[in-house]
Structure 1
Amino acid sequence: MNSKISLAPRPLYEEVAERLRSSIFSHELTPGSWIDEQAIAAQYGISRTPMREAIKVLAAEGLITMKMRRGAYVTEVSKSDTSEIFTVLALLEGQACRETATKATEKQLQDLDSIHMKLERAAADRDLDLFFAVNQAFHDKIQEICNNSWMTGVINDLRKVLKLQRRDSLSKRGRLESSLQEHRKLLSALLARDPDLSEKLMKEHLLKGQQAAK
């Protein structure tokens, strides 16, 4: 006899957090801007309670900054913040690449190769939005192969903060081409199952991304 499993409905504050997150990433809510809780709650047709819970979630992710007696503001990423975040990401994603080079199955390496081909096409079409999305998918696949949930959680939180400004770096002259070249070398190292070179190239890739973000 088959029994149906009832899934609990998604809490309202999570849906509100997702809408706010999208507004922040699209710059509808710009860095440094004040979050008008009452106005946004009215716009969404909700009470202040789920609104406040959603803000707590985004504050924990680093996307919103709480200021004493002033309320919530969209986080502004300083040059110092960016430098520190990229330094940590380089260490973590470098380690993820090292592990991927040694533990990936042939199918997983083929998947990485397929994602990279999409990256090549996006670059050829000068489609920055698609390039950014596929680039993210490539990095996500490495995290999936590495299969370290703690590492992935930290990386994802740091990426969310970088997403406040990072996409603009791809529009700088020559950065898209440089990023693609870096990915080509990284993929070759992974396909060759070279952990030392894979780690080194990922660290260099992210630190060059840091330079482009300045």
Structure 2
Amino acid sequence: MTLTAPLAPRALYQEVAERLRQQIFGRELEPGSWIDELKLCAELGISRTPLREALKVLAVEGLVTMKVRRGAYVTEMSERDVREAYQLLALLESDAAARVAERASATELAELQALHEQLETQVAQRDAFFATNERFHLRLLEIEANRWRQQIVTDLRRVMKLNRHHSLFKQGRLAESLAEHRAMMAALARRDAESAARLVREHFENGLSAATPGE
């Protein structure tokens, strides 16, 4: 009989990577800022090896930019970066929405409706709205079940959190976003694939306008 070795606990560098992710998303480490490795090692009580492994992980995710002989910096998104990310999200998620409209079970549509109903109660709670909004979009992708699409969108959404001008920061945008979600849900419930795709594209186009300074 072959004995299976016990699973190893999550590697230290993965724990460090998650800690840094949360510091980046919480703006404790601002976009464009230099990452002081010695200071972080002292704060976390670790050597530089797991920290550097963690930084490599975050660099692959796009959250950190490594500069030759200058060290690691929190990635700062340019206006072009934001525009291109929104355009890709619009393409990927609108196609997914069309497929969900055509193929999702009644139970799966009910799950999306439940998330939407949470949004309806959170329009005055920005952080909660952010979290539920992301869960809604990611659940839509899970239902569609194209793992490559899920991976790309998850990476894009992670990097989008670096945007200083997040679309939902703009005054009045939460209410507008909620109205757009309402229309998207209605299209999904009607099994109207064409309308669902169009409404998701418009949702991202409006998000881009709100996220781009001067527009």
Smaller-chain TM-score range? over 0.9
In structure 2, give the amino acid aligned to 1:163. Answer: K
Structure 2 partner of 1:204: 202
Q: Paired residue for 1:184?
A: 182
Could you tell me the TM-score, scaled by structure 2's length? 0.94
- Report if aligned partners of 1:12, 1:50 keep a CA contact under 8 Å in 2: yes
Number of equivalenced pairs: 210
Q: How far is 1:167 from its partner?
A: 7.3
CA distance in 2, matches of 1:55, 1:185: 41
Aligned to 1:75: 75
Alignment of 1:55-204 (within 5 A): 55-123=55-123, 126-165=124-163, 168-204=166-202
Letter in 2 for 1:137: R
For the Cα contact (< 8 Å) 1:66–1:73, is it kept in 2?
A: yes
Equivalent-residue separation in structure 2 for 1:145 and 1:200 (angstroms): 19
SS at 2:140 equivalent = helix
SS in 2 for 1:93: helix
* TM superposition outliers: structure 1 runs of 4+ over 6 Å: none
Give the CA deviation at 1:102: 1.3
2:162 is matched by which residue type in structure 1? L
Gap runs ≥5 in structure 2 = none
1:41 aligns with 2:36: no
For the 8 Å contact 1:132–1:167, the answer to whether it is kept is no
* Residues 125-147 of structure 1 deviation map (CA, whole Å, 9 limit, x = unaligned): x1101111111111011011011
Query: Which secondary structure does the structure 1 equivalent of 2:30 belong to?
Result: coil
Whether contact under 8 Å (2:101, 2:191) holds in the other structure is: yes
Task: Tell me which amino acid in the other structure corresponds to 1:122.
Answer: Q
- Residue pair 2:184, 2:199 contacting (<8 A) in 1 also: yes
Segment drifting more, 160-169 vs 127-136: 160-169
Matched to 1:157, the amino acid is D
Q: What is the RMSD of the two structures over their aligned residues, measured on CA atoms?
A: 1.5
After superposition, the Cα gap between the structure-2 partners of 1:175 and 1:45, relative to the gap in structure 1 and judged at 3 Å, is same
After TM superposition, give the deviation of residue 103 of structure 1 in Å.
1.5
Shift of 1:95: 1.1
Decide whether the 8 Å contact of 1:109 with 1:191 is kept in 2.
Answer: yes
Q: In structure 2, do the counterparts of structure 1 residues 62 and 36 end up closer, same or farther at CA, with 3 Å as the change threshold?
A: same
Percent of pairs with identical residues: 51
- Whether the aligned pair in 1 keeps the contact of 2:170 and 2:211 (CA below 8 Å) is no
Residue 155 of structure 1 aligns with an amino acid whose one-letter code is V
TM-score scaled to structure 1, two decimals? Answer: 0.94
